[in-house]
């Protein structure tokens, strides 16, 4: 059975917090709550949630500061739920931090639909904090990091998306077209060379010998797989 998605709500309105917790639990989510920004950050440190619902007006920290600290820890999706309705605030938060922004007062079914939409976007992310790929290589994709023989290697957002797509089906081949669709869906004129260049760069970062890869393998017919398992046909 698939574990329920973990949602952290950071909201200082106790009545609204209780309502959201009750409805989200009823809808099958695992919910953690915090009424202060500092408590929300502590909850993130204890265990990364799959999604965060964040109020911008908290008693101890500005919501923007909380979002900044969250993103410093991990690339976790945030839905802002705020009484601040100015277009400039929405634009800034969505550009810099948030996956979505919903203005109070709101209807719960709309919030639920937005949560589901964001979680669907994350379907290629692995559900564990650290993935052991093989001897000497671990991936911590939510932090955009790889650990190579004990050394932390920073990953770009594109490199992270490529590895997350491959990690969604470990040991199985993923076609170049599928990688283009998942990673470069919003890019005009995306070309297979984008995939080739990114894989080459990842091999240079992660492989002991980039010309003889142990972890990032090319497969016959076009595509790539992550890990030492047997090759199968590209999906």
State mean pLDDT over 74-87.
84
Specify whether 138 is located in the same domain as 213: yes
Specify whether 92 is located in the same domain as 139: no
The mean of the pLDDT values for the chain is 85
127 pLDDT higher than 80: no
125 pLDDT higher than 60: no
Tell me, yes or no, whether 67 lies in a domain.
Answer: yes
CATH of residue 157's domain is: 1.10.10.10
> Do 167 and 126 form a contact (C-beta atoms < 8 A)?
yes
229 pLDDT higher than 60: no
Give the pLDDT score at 15: 96
User: CA separation (Å) from 115 to 43, 62, 79, 82?
Assistant: 19, 23, 8, 15
User: CA separation (Å) from 34 to 10, 14, 17, 42?
Assistant: 5, 10, 9, 9
Tell me, yes or no, whether 231 lies in a domain.
Answer: no
Q: What is the band of 186 on the pLDDT scale with cuts at 50, 70, 90?
A: low
Closest CA to 223 of 180, 168, 186, 183: 180
User: Number of C-alpha atoms within 13 angstroms, CB side, residue 199?
Assistant: 25
Structural domain tally of the chain?
2
Specify whether 15 is located in the same domain as 113: yes
Specify whether 139 is located in the same domain as 41: no
Specify whether 90 is located in the same domain as 180: no
State mean pLDDT over 92-104.
85
Start-end of H helices in the chain: 14-26, 37-46, 63-73, 87-96, 108-121, 157-167, 176-183, 192-206
CATH of residue 15's domain is: 3.40.50.2300
Specify whether 87 is located in the same domain as 171: no
Residue 10 Ramachandran class (φ > 0 left, ψ -120 to 50 alpha, else beta): beta
Residue in this structure with the two tokens 């929300």, named with its chain if needed: 40
Q: Which of 22-26, 109-113, 157-161 has the lowest mean pLDDT?
A: 157-161
Specify whether 117 is located in the same domain as 137: no
Domain residues for the domain of 58 are 6-121
């Amino acid at each position: 059975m698939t574990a329920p998605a973990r949602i952290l709500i950071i909201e200082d309105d106790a009545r609204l917090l209780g309502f959201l917790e009750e409805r989200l639990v009823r809808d099958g989510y695992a919910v953690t709550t915090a009424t202060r920004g500092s408590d929300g950050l502590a909850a993130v440190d204890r265990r990364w949630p799959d999604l965060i619902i964040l109020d911008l007006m908290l008693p101890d920290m500005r919501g923007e500061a909380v979002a900044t600290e969250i993103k410093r820890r991990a690339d976790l999706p945030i839905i802002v739920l705020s009484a601040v309705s100015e277009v400039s605030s929405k634009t800034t938060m969505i550009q810099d931090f948030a996956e979505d922004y919903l203005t109070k007062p709101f209807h719960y079914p709309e919030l639920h639909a937005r949560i589901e939409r964001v979680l669907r976007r994350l379907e290629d992310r692995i559900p564990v904090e650290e993935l052991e790929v093989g001897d000497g290589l671990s991936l911590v994709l939510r932090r955009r990091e790889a650990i190579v023989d004990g050394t932390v290697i920073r990953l770009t957002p594109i490199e992270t998306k490529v590895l997350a797509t491959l990690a969604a089906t470990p040991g199985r081949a993923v076609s170049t077209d599928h990688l283009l669709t998942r990673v470069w869906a919003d890019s005009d004129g995306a070309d297979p060379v984008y995939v080739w260049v990114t894989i080459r760069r990842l091999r240079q970062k992660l492989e002991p010998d980039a010309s003889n890869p142990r972890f990032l393998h090319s497969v016959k017919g076009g595509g790539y797989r992550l890990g030492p398992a047997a090759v199968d046909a590209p999906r």
